[in-house]
C-alpha cells in the first residue's frame, strides 16, 4: 500500500515517510498526516485517510515521528507534543517538491504539534500550506495528562502507552549510556513520570510541567493565520471537555468543531461494526473546501 522514503534530518538523524502509490494528476492536493502518540502509517486513522485520499485523487503521505516507523532513530532524542520545528522542516521540504495544495492533518499528539507550528509561523504558514486540521489533539497537555493518569484511563490506556514507550526509551539509553536514569524510567507508572524522566529533558524542557505548559497549543490559537480546524469530541476520554477552548479564545482563522460524540479519534457511524470513514470524509471535505475544491462522493 505504501512506498517508504527516508529523509536525513538536519541533525543527521532520519525520519521515514510512507507515500500512498499515487498516479495522481499533476497539481492535485497532497494530504499530509502527522500521527498520534506511538502511531504510524498502519494506525486505523492513517489507513482511513489513505482511502479518502485515493477516492479524491489526492496524493497522500504519512510522516513518522522519530522512532515510530519500526526502526529506532539515531539521535539522543525522540519526539514530543510540541515538536513544531520538525513539522516545519518537513512541510517546507514537501512544499518545495509538490506543486498542488498542501492539506495537513494532525492526529492527537500530532495535531497539537501541528497547531504549534501554525502558531509559531503566523502569517508565513500560508506560504507553505492551504489549510490544517487538528483531530482530537490534547491542546491543554496538563488537563489531558491529568485525565489519562486517573481511573480507567490509567489502568488501560496509560499502561498500553507505557508498554510501547518504555522499551523504546530503554533502547535509546542503550544507544547513549547515561542519557537518563534507567531505573527511574522502569519505575514510572504514568505519563507524567515518563515525561519528567525522558521526554522533557531530552527535548530541552526543565520538567514535565514546563514541557506541558510550553508545548500546549491552546494558549496560542489566536496567533494562527491560516485556515485551521480544531476538532475535539466532548466525550474524548483523553481531552476533558472543560479544557477545550471557546470561540472567544481563538482567532478568526480557527474553526472549532466540538461534537458531543466521537471519543478519541473514533467518530464511527452506523450500527456495529461501525464505519470509520466519517472522520476522513468530514475533515477532508473541510480541507478541500479551503483550497477551493469539493469532495467527490
Place of cell 497539537: 112
Helices 278-289/44-55 angle, 10° precision: 50
- Edge-to-edge strand list for the sheet holding 254-257: 2-8, 14-20, 59-63, 30-34, 102-107, 131-135, 228-231, 254-257
- Integer Cα distance of 81 and 218 in angstroms: 12
Is residue 83 among the annotated active site residues? Answer: no
Catalytic residue, candidates 35, 64, 80, 264: 264
Is residue 203 among the annotated active site residues? Answer: no
Q: What is the DSSP pairing of strand 228-231 with strand 254-257?
A: parallel
Catalytic residue, candidates 46, 108, 121, 130: 108
Is residue 264 among the annotated active site residues? Answer: yes
Catalytic residue, candidates 83, 140, 190, 236: 236
Q: What is the DSSP pairing of strand 14-20 with strand 2-8?
A: antiparallel
Distances (CA, A) of 86 to 160, 193, 225, 291: 26, 24, 19, 24
Which of the residues are catalytic?
108, 236, 264
Amino acid at each position: 500500500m505504501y512506498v517508504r522514503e527516508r529523509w536525513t534530518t538536519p541533525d543527521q538523524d532520519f525520519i521515514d515517510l510512507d507515500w500512498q502509490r499515487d498516479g495522481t494528476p499533476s497539481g492535485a492536493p497532497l494530504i499530509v498526516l502527522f500521527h498520534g502518540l506511538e502511531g504510524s502509517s498502519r494506525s486505523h486513522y492513517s489507513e482511513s485517510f489513505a482511502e479518502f485520499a485515493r477516492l479524491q485523487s489526492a496524493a497522500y503521505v504519512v510522516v513518522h515521528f522519530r522512532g515510530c516507523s519500526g526502526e529506532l532513530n539515531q539521535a539522543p532524542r525522540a519526539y514530543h507534543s510540541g515538536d513544531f520545528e520538525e513539522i516545519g522542516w518537513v512541510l517546507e521540504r514537501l512544499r518545495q517538491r509538490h506543486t498542488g495544495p498542501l492539506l495537513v492533518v494532525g492526529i492527537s499528539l500530532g495535531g497539537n504539534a501541528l497547531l504549534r507550528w501554525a502558531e509559531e509561523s503566523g502569517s508565513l504558514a500560508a506560504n507553505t500550506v492551504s489549510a490544517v486540521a487538528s483531530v482530537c489533539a490534547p491542546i491543554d497537555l496538563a488537563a489531558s495528562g491529568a485525565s489519562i493518569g486517573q481511573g480507567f484511563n490509567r489502568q488501560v490506556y496509560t499502561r498500553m502507552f507505557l508498554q510501547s514507550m518504555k522499551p523504546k526509551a530503554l533502547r535509546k539509553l542503550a544507544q547513549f549510556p547515561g542519557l537518563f536514569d534507567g531505573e527511574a524510567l522502569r519505575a514510572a507508572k504514568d505519563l507524567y513520570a515518563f515525561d519528567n524522566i525522558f521526554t522533557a529533558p531530552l527535548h530541552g524542557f526543565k520538567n514535565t510541567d514546563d514541557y506541558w505548559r510550553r508545548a500546549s497549543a491552546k494558549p496560542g490559537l489566536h496567533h494562527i493565520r491560516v485556515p485551521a480546524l480544531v476538532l475535539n469530541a466532548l466525550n474524548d476520554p483523553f481531552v476533558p471537555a472543560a479544557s477545550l477552548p471557546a470561540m472567544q479564545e481563538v482567532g478568526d482563522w480557527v474553526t472549532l468543531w466540538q461534537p458531543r460524540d466521537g471519543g478519541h479519534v473514533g467518530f464511527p457511524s452506523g450500527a456495529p461494526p461501525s464505519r470509520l470513514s466519517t472522520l476522513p470524509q468530514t475533515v477532508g471535505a473541510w480541507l478541500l473546501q479551503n483550497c477551493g475544491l469539493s469532495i467527490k462522493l
